[in-house]
Amino acid sequence: MTKRCGTIAIAGRPNVGKSTLLNRLIGQKLSITAHKPQTTRHAVLGINTRDETQFIYIDTPGIHGGGKRTLNRVLNKTASSATTGADVLLLVVQALTWTEDDQMAFEIVQRQERPWILVVNKVDRVTPKEKLLPWLQQLSVTEHAHAVIPLSASKGHNLDALQTQIEQLLPETDFIYDEDSFTDRSSRFLASELVREQLTRFLSQELPYSISVEIEQFEDSGKMLSVSAVIWVEKQSQKSIVIGKGGSGLKEMGSRARKEMQLMFDRKVHLNLWVKVKDGWSDDANMIRSLGYETD
């Protein structure tokens, strides 16, 4: 049989479920998820090889307007760059919602002049269900899409229909990655993301956007992982929020992150966390670059 292989960029505004969709499509957790806009900050590549087809998905940061800080501009640039050259694009939107950021994401996708699929996520939340069709009919962007697929990423509903549409659009060519690969990201990167995920989930209300994680030590003995990470914040008051009363917050988040790492890496994990303050880091291009964000 003829093999198919290609890249599929997953684009859309923040918090529409792109990362949840990626994790479902590759069949395991890769991108971190939280009920907070702009949780995804990097273009994360996830690979799923099924029979004679290799799907190479790229999860991208949420496309958004209005952000004035350097980090906001970097994330938008990362998202836009990740769509360039993809074989297929997925524009993910939330059912019954269309915002200025959705329009911005659509324009970026449309500019690529590649086939794209409108993925209407969170349809499980639509009540009554009869609301969905009229909303889709009045949405003018649907006429530009190769297909429109309503689904629920969190429930795993209708993913087969989406994968069938994607497969038809991928080029006939040999696989790029080994069949058992699921990402091109390092274990070090994945560890930092798991820490940031728990921070974002645990402190979703209290902590502002400007928080990042840097891995200082990552040693794998085969039986045990030893990981040391620095949590960067911008103010002393934010440091106090992360640490919590008597260190309780940091201890709880560290415990959660350690458990997630043990699941991902399938071994025991020893995790040390420190919190440090770097004033205005999210507006400092050099600091942003040192933390692994793609600024070029």
Q: 187: exposed, middle or buried (C-beta count within 10 Å: 0-12, 13-18, 19+)?
A: middle
Q: Which helix (H) or strand (E) holds 215?
A: strand 211-220
Out of 39-48, 146-155, 257-266, 271-280, which region has the weakest mean confidence (pLDDT)? 39-48
**CA 148/CA 72 separation, integer angstroms:** 29
CA distances from 48 to 31, 35, 137, 154 (A): 14, 25, 33, 18
The tokens describing 272, both together, are 């040390």
| Beta carbons within 10 angstroms of residue 253's beta carbon | 25
Residues of each domain in the chain carrying CATH 3.40.50.300: 4-169
On the question of pLDDT at 296 being above 80, the answer is no
Residue 218 CB burial class (10 angstroms; 0-12, 13-18, ≥19): middle
Q: Is 171 a residue whose pLDDT tops 60?
A: yes
Quote the CA–CA distance of 250 and 213 in Å, as a whole number: 13
Q: What is the dihedral of CA 20, 105, 80, 291, to 10 degrees?
A: -50
CA 165 from centre of chain: 22
Does the predicted model carry a pTM greater than 0.75?
yes
The residues pairing with 46 across neighbouring beta strands, listed in sequence order, are 57, 183
Condensed to tens digits (0 to 9), the pLDDT of residues 31-54 reads 767 555 554 455 788 999 999 999
> What's the rounded Cα separation, in Å, for the pair 196 and 230?
10
CATH classification code of 4-169: 3.40.50.300
Q: Name the architecture of domain 187-290.
A: 2-Layer Sandwich (3.30)
DSSP state for residue 182 in the 8-state scheme: -
Confidence of residue 170 (pLDDT cuts 50, 70, 90): very high
Residue 284, exposed/middle/buried by CB under 10 A (0-12, 13-18, 19+)? middle
Q: Where in the chain is the domain with CATH 3.30.300.20?
A: 187-290
Nearest to 78 by CA among 59, 91, 101, 104: 59
209 pLDDT tier (thresholds 50, 70, 90): low
Q: What are phi and psi of 66, to 5 degrees?
A: 90, -15
pLDDT for res 293: 64
What is the residue-averaged pLDDT of the chain? 88
